[in-house]
Chain A
Amino acid sequence: MNPSSPAPAPAPAVEEILAQARRLREGIPGDIHEHLVESLYADAGRIAERSVSRPDRPARPTFDRTLDRIVTSRVWGLPVMLLLFAFMFWLTIAGANVPSQWLAGVLVESGHPWLRGLADAAGFPWWLRGLLVDGVYLSTAWVISVMLPPMAIFFPLFTLLEDFGYIPRVAFNLDALFKRAGAHGKQAMSTMMGFGCNAAGVVSTRIIDSPRERLIAILTNNFALCNGRWPTQILIATIFLGRLVPAHLAGLVSAGAVAGVALLGLGCTFLVAWLLSRTVLKGQVSTFSLELPPYRPPRLWQTLYTSVLDRTLLVLWRAVVFAAPAGAVIWLVANVRLGEGSVAEFLISGMNPFGLALGLNGVILLAYLIAIPANEIVIPTILMLTALVARLAGVGEGAGVMVQSDSPAFVGEVLRAGGWTVLTAVNLMLFSLLHNPCSTTLYTIYKETGSARWTTLAALLPLGMGVALTFGVATVWRLLAS
């Protein structure tokens, strides 16, 4: 007790009060909580009756009910949801192409040589120019040109749906599935948040009151593809899978592939929730009531404004903050020599056998190590490292300089030169879905659970699944190909 603060009720009085409360409680028949809630409802009903007048027609306009009958129907609910999201991916993929090319042209094609020239003119030593211009600037420029356009299309679309009131309907559709998996229906909400950012998704599990179900929601949130991973999925699907079919079908096939991976993530969520609730996290499923708010006409301009400001720029800023130091790290591992080759080459060749067994390669594994702080920088890192290892002609002077390209198609050429096949692309998409969460999310999980054990499980579980799945796919693929 703090002696300086006045305490009118000394400790004995407190215990006396608590003892009296216990005594009185025992003398009351039935559940006190229920008594109180009952009287609360009675009062609320009585007061509302006195002040609310409503006409004798149904409270909800028929448009809402007709729409709800379709989008929450047992038969059509899930297909409509899938089509809607696939359509959003298609719009994103089709629309992002041109601005991405333009940004790459300005920032990488023209901006990078210009800055190099500027650094030379200013008399920078080669290592400082390398670190700043070839490392920090180039990785930042890549992040912006690869990530900004898809985000600037996808987020406003998602926010419009949110503003309209569709997201609770998604939760309604998924509720039964979550319950069957032994998880809380409210997890549908935190999963939806996870599609934006897993750290935010983990925080949003606070709406779940049962600790058991909350842990399940936290541990499986990573299976919802986050902002940082959408661009990887979209880019790789466009470059490798879209190429497999005639041009007019390319967009559809790529969008379908991305939707497929997102769906696989959802499947993993249910599977892991089911496994957890039958092993380490056994218990009852709690019920809850979900409110379907009325549809509201979305406010177009405000939505655009807030989604661009709150989501797009915020996420982009985060990516840039992590990409800049990562660019420096990449340049360093590419240029600090260790005996014969650079540190990067040493690490990549060391990890290559394992990577190839998974249908990936050493470059991808090293990129995922460097990109632990943020998934956003995986693609730029892979590009830089691939260019380094393949020693591509005409992609820059010196090691660790990222490719200079005027179109995302060039990204494909670089990767193919680095020995990439369709298998590499498919497995990268799978591994991007199934690997450890980024360090921000892990830290959030640690803060929310207060347990190093659950945090470790949250990191190792998806990583283990990713390794197993990619290994399985690679093995089957090679068997079929031979």
Chain B
Amino acid sequence: MACADCDVYRAARLHKLGLQPGPWDHVVALAGNPNTGKSTVFNALTGLRQHTGNWPGKTVARAEGGFAYADRRFQLVDLPGTYSLLSTSPDEEIARDFILFGRPDVTVVVADATRLERNLNLVLQVLEITERAVVCLNLVDEAKRHGIQVDERQLARDLGVPVIPTSARFGRGLPELLAAIAEMAARKVSGFGYRLSQEPLAIRSALADLTTRIEQAYPGLPNARWIAMRLLGGDERVAEALRRGELSALAERAARGTEGVLRESSLPAR
């Protein structure tokens, strides 16, 4: 383990690249509820000084920066802070479109340890879209002050993705976060893809039918179930993406990207 202040960590592993141009080896998206310290994590990793404020709704557009870690160059995209990916406000759409169509190699979801239950709503929605996610359990110092303890191992088991406790304001946990991002990006580990366990009975069979239909049409699409859910809910943006062929491109890319990589779920045979 390394700490944010050791020379080893600073000199050899992390290079903050700020606004340096690409090319990048990996794209990392940074999602999270408002006011969870997302921008602080972004600044700590990129060395940029994007203004942070203790209030919701501060970041409404995408901010981009970069860092190099363990000889790989990462582009980090800071998405607007949102409580969900379900409604249609412009900031939620920016976040959702990037996670879905931008196909980041890793999506880091920053969650507030002091308000875990509410933050999990977004985490679960992100996990429905992508299994290539890392949960950054931020503000653990604040949680501790309030006497709240989060068992991150239990949480990681339940969610099926790595959970890294951090306190980004003070640089704690960032080396572990970087390591988890790098491992996920290099596809050494993979989440198992969380699925809502208590999906309402009323829609269970409809969802299964539509998912099968979509998987047939787009072999290799990693989030067919999520697409089916959105289509059932009447999401026009996703229907539009389907008509314009954006999903075909996604499925193609997903298929190419997983060639020769062992995954828990094998691709459906053509």
Select B158's contact among A37, A51, A59, A306, beta carbons within 8 Å.
A51
- In the complex formed, the residue of B with least CB distance to A54 is B148
Known: A50-B154, A60-B146, A162-B54. A35 touches B88 (CB 8 A): no
Q: Note all chain B residues with C-beta closer than 8 A to A305.
A: 49
**Inter-chain contact B57/A17, CB cutoff 8 Å:** no
**Inter-chain contact B56/A20, CB cutoff 8 Å:** no
**Inter-chain contact A306/B49, CB cutoff 8 Å:** yes
- Which of these binds chain A: B5-13, B65-73, B185-193, B206-214? B206-214
- Which of these binds chain B: A41-49, A247-255, A392-400, A465-473? A41-49
**Inter-chain contact B242/A8, CB cutoff 8 Å:** no
**Inter-chain contact B55/A47, CB cutoff 8 Å:** no
Known: A14-B243, A25-B232, A51-B158. A168 touches B209 (CB 8 A): no
7 contacts between A and B (CB under 8 A): A21-B231, A40-B125, A43-B198, A167-B53, A206-B60, A209-B87, A310-B51
Query: Which of B120, B142, B150, B210 has the most C-beta atoms of chain A within 10 angstroms of its own C-beta?
Result: B120
- Name the distance in Å between A51's Cβ and chain B's nearest Cβ: 4
- Name the distance in Å between A186's Cβ and chain B's nearest Cβ: 7
- Which of these binds chain A: B24-32, B100-108, B244-252, B259-267? B244-252
**Inter-chain contact A17/B116, CB cutoff 8 Å:** no
**A163 CB-CB contact with B under 8 Å:** yes
- Name the distance in Å between B269's Cβ and chain A's nearest Cβ: 14
Q: Note all chain A residues with C-beta closer than 8 A to B3.
A: none
**Inter-chain contact B117/A45, CB cutoff 8 Å:** yes
- List B204-241 residues whose CB lies under 8 Å from chain A: 206, 209-210, 213-214, 217-219, 228-229, 231-234, 239
- Name the distance in Å between A99's Cβ and chain B's nearest Cβ: 24
Main SS of chain A's interface residues?
helix
**A120 CB-CB contact with B under 8 Å:** no
Select A37's contact among B34, B86, B92, B248, beta carbons within 8 Å.
B86
**Inter-chain contact A17/B202, CB cutoff 8 Å:** no
Task: Report which B residues bind A (CB closer than 8 A).
Answer: 34-35, 49, 51-58, 60-61, 80, 86-92, 114, 116-118, 120-121, 123-125, 142, 145-152, 154-155, 158-159, 169, 196-200, 202-203, 206, 209-210, 213-214, 217-219, 228-229, 231-234, 239, 242-243, 245, 247-249, 251-252
Select B210's contact among A24, A159, A294, beta carbons within 8 Å.
A24
**Inter-chain contact B116/A43, CB cutoff 8 Å:** no
Q: Note all chain B residues with C-beta closer than 8 A to A50.
A: 151, 154-155, 158
- Encode contact with B along A42-71: 1 for CB under 8 Å, 0 otherwise: 111111101111110101110000000000
Q: Note all chain B residues with C-beta closer than 8 A to A14.
A: 217, 242-243
Known: A48-B120, A163-B54, A168-B55. A21 touches B232 (CB 8 A): yes
Known: A14-B243, A21-B210. A57 touches B147 (CB 8 A): yes
- Encode contact with B along A206-219: 1 for CB under 8 Å, 0 otherwise: 11110000000000
Instruction: Give bound CA distance, A394 to B34, whole Å.
Output: 57
**A204 CB-CB contact with B under 8 Å:** yes
**A39 CB-CB contact with B under 8 Å:** yes
- Name the distance in Å between A341's Cβ and chain B's nearest Cβ: 48
- Name the distance in Å between B211's Cβ and chain A's nearest Cβ: 11
**Inter-chain contact A39/B198, CB cutoff 8 Å:** yes
Query: Which of A47, A48, A294 has the most C-beta atoms of chain B within 10 angstroms of its own C-beta?
Result: A47
Q: Note all chain A residues with C-beta closer than 8 A to B217.
A: 8-9, 13-14, 17
**Inter-chain contact A8/B251, CB cutoff 8 Å:** yes
Ordered nearest first, which 7 A-B pairs have the shortest CB separation? Answer: A209-B89, A44-B120, A48-B117, A21-B231, A24-B206, A9-B217, A35-B200
Task: Report which A residues bind B (CB closer than 8 A).
Answer: 1-2, 5-9, 11, 13-14, 16-18, 20-21, 24-25, 27-30, 32-33, 35-48, 50-55, 57, 59-61, 159, 162-165, 167-168, 171, 186, 189, 203-204, 206-209, 290-291, 293-294, 296, 299, 305-306, 309-311
Q: Note all chain A residues with C-beta closer than 8 A to B159.
A: 47
Q: Note all chain A residues with C-beta closer than 8 A to B88.
A: 209
- In the complex formed, the residue of A with least CB distance to B125 is A40
- Name the distance in Å between A230's Cβ and chain B's nearest Cβ: 18
**Inter-chain contact B231/A167, CB cutoff 8 Å:** no
- Name the distance in Å between A154's Cβ and chain B's nearest Cβ: 15
**Inter-chain contact B54/A207, CB cutoff 8 Å:** no
Instruction: Give bound CA distance, A46 to B228, whole Å.
Output: 24
Known: A50-B158, A52-B149. A5 touches B248 (CB 8 A): yes
**Inter-chain contact A17/B60, CB cutoff 8 Å:** no
Instruction: Give bound CA distance, A163 to B37, whole Å.
Output: 12
- Name the distance in Å between B32's Cβ and chain A's nearest Cβ: 13
Q: Note all chain A residues with C-beta closer than 8 A to B57.
A: 186, 189, 204, 207
Select A189's contact among B56, B80, B234, beta carbons within 8 Å.
B56
Select B155's contact among A5, A9, A47, A291, beta carbons within 8 Å.
A47
Q: Note all chain A residues with C-beta closer than 8 A to B147.
A: 54-55, 57, 59
